């Protein structure tokens, strides 16, 4: 059996969603949704919506540069649990690719950023279920687009 590379495992875990990078409780999601307009951004596409809230880092809050992501997919929009799990994985992967940019922006502005992404409409088109390959690509494209747009808006608002 091969020896376990501890440094490689640690690097892999940093790339993933550690507990400190997640919105976990309903109260944390609600706080993002209730954030005042001066401290939040809301955007949507055909399938996904995003809510971003930030607060200035203080002694009691997480350290500056902290970014937490949360993904919700309701049963109304994706009936099968495998579809809900797949949508979450796709969106989390898009978030992982943008996490470094969000963290750099949060650190520059001395803020903590919370991002909640939600599947807002069913995975259907014209009353018919989309083919899995089509909706997977559409979800990923929308997630990437929303995150890029949100990052540029955060840069402008926190400047």
CB 51 within 8 A of CB 32: yes
For residues 74 and 154, what is the distance between their CA atoms, to the nearest angstrom? 27
Contact 72, 29 (CB under 8 A): yes
- In this prediction, residue 71 carries a pLDDT of 95
What CA–CA distance (Å, rounded) separates 117 from 91? Answer: 8
Enumerate the domain spans of the chain.
19-157
Determine if the pTM surpasses 0.75. yes
Q: How far apart are CA 64 and CA 106, in angstroms?
A: 7
pLDDT at 72: 95
- Name which CATH class applies to 19-157: alpha beta
Query: d(Cα 37, Cα 127) in Å, to the nearest integer?
Result: 35
Which residues does residue 118 pair with via DSSP β-bridges, in sequence order? 49, 72
Instruction: Please report how many Cα atoms fall inside a 13 Å half-sphere around the Cα of residue 15, on the Cβ side.
Output: 9
What token pair was written down for 58? 């203080």
CA distance linking residue 70 with residue 114, whole number of Å = 8
Digitized pLDDT (tens) for each residue of the chain, 159 residues in all: 444 444 444 444 555 677 888 999 999 999 999 999 999 999 999 999 999 999 887 754 677 788 999 999 999 998 889 999 999 999 999 999 999 999 999 999 889 999 999 999 887 655 566 687 888 999 999 999 999 999 999 999 987
Residues 6+ apart with CB under 8 A from 105: 113, 151, 154, 155, 158
């Amino acid at each position: 059996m091969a020896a376990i590379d501890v440094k490689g495992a640690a690097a892999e875990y940093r790339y993933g969603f550690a507990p400190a990078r997640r919105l976990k409780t309903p109260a944390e999601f609600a706080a993002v949704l209730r954030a005042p307009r001066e401290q939040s951004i809301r955007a949507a596409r055909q399938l996904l919506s995003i809510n971003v809230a930030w607060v200035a880092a203080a002694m009691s809050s997480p350290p500056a540069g902290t970014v937490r992501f949360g993904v919700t997919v309701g049963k109304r929009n994706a009936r099968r649990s495998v579809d809900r799990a797949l949508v979450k994985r796709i969106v989390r992967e898009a978030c992982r690719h943008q996490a470094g940019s969000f963290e750099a922006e949060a650190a520059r502005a001395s803020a903590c950023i919370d991002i909640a992404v939600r599947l807002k409409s069913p995975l259907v088109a014209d009353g018919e279920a989309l083919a899995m390959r089509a909706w997977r690509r559409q979800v990923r494209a929308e997630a990437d687009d929303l995150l890029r747009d949100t990052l540029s808006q955060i840069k402008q608002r926190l400047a």
